[in-house]
Amino acid sequence: MVILGVETDVLGLALTEVTGQRRAEVVAAHPGPDFENRVPRASHDGMPGRPGPTFGTMNDDVLAPFDAAFRRKDFVQLVRNRPWPE
């Protein structure tokens, strides 16, 4: 259940299964200003000096926008394009 909640909250997966009214209630109770930039930055800041072990995980997607050696943007793009309103 935790994984499903995180996937819906962070990535917007299965968000269509949550009614518009419920989404509005969640956003009113827990606004996420600049969420699409704050979450990737916080994830990046939590793994300094450890780029090697990130290969093949979502962590390499987090490092990509902050480290010129990386080109992947999958995780960050999913977060930034999630269908939740601010």
Rounded Cα distance, 58 and 56, in Å: 7
DSSP H or E run through 82: none
pLDDT of residue 21: 96
pLDDT of residue 50: 66
Return the pLDDT at 71.
Answer: 56
For the chain, the structural domain boundaries read 2-80
| Prediction pTM value | 0.53
- Only one residue has tokens 């969420």, namely 35
End-to-end CA distance of the chain: 24
For the chain, which residues score pLDDT lower than 70?
50-56, 69-75
